[in-house]
Amino acid sequence: MAGSVRSGGPVVLVGCGRLGSAILEGWLLTETVAPADLIILSPSEKPAAEAARAQGARINPPLEALTEAGVIVLAVKPAIWREVVTPLAPFLNDQAVILSVMAGVTAPTLAEGIGGWPIVRVMPTTGVSRGRGVASIWSADDRAQGLGRALFEPMAETVVLADEALMDAATAVAGSGAAYFYAFTEALARAGQASGLDAATADVLARATLRSAADSMGDDDLEALIGRIASPGGSTRAGLDALAKDGRLTRMLDETVAAAVRRNREMG
């Protein structure tokens, strides 16, 4: 129901870039936050923010409006968060919660730069814009964690992490994972071309297969799903054996996730 999140005041979205816009669109789509309860701070005009304004959200009001805020959602680039947040901090009330969707910026770092407000970190995917995202959540504060869940569960499949140190790995798997699947799909289409398909046909088949596989997956055991398609001695099993030869698929993904984890930590 619209406005169902009880944050103790307006929800302030700081930053309306690609991820911030996706979050905003998801809130409006799922009616998680009523537009009248939204304050959006953005240095430039964004279509998602303008759509929210048309429904009653406030865009770049005087900073005094932040004294009412229940939660401040930081959706800016990690490299600039300090310069963005510093002017806001004097206006925040004692009960506000800081919710960060910035990769790599830890809660102790945020606390050092902002102050003593409760902090919850959330790493969502841009699929939240369609109400079909994924979000990893961590907080040492129960109320802050509850707010994070309330803001994201309506538009994402969420997991609550036991330790903040796991956030970088969760980000590397889920936050970055869609790009890995897209890259695999592109490579699959090119492999189809190498085997004789024209480019357009290979592209349609690869994309449609990814969508079909996602729709069919559900919560079933992954090995069981593979087994339904890969008959012993069949062509699918031959392809899977090629993928797994000398452990190269596992090794490649281990290296991929590890590289993303390293970069997340560097950005923080």
> What does the CA dihedral 239, 241, 243, 244 come to, rounded to 10 degrees?
170
Residue 35 in tokens: 């537009």
d(CA 133, CA 75): 16
Determine how β-strand 119-124 pairs with β-strand 133-139. antiparallel
4 is in an annotated binding site: no
Give the span between the Cα atoms of 113 and 85, in whole angstroms. 8
Confirm whether residue 111 is marked as ligand binding. Answer: no
Confirm or deny that 78 is annotated as ligand binding: yes
Question: Is 100 within any annotated ligand binding site?
Answer: no
How many other C-beta atoms are found inside a 10 Å radius of the C-beta of residue 254? Answer: 11
CA 257 to CA 249: how far, in whole Å? 12
**75 annotated as a binding-site residue:** yes
Q: Which residues are annotated as a binding site?
A: 42, 75-78
Q: Which residues are annotated as a binding site for NADP(+)?
A: 42, 75-78
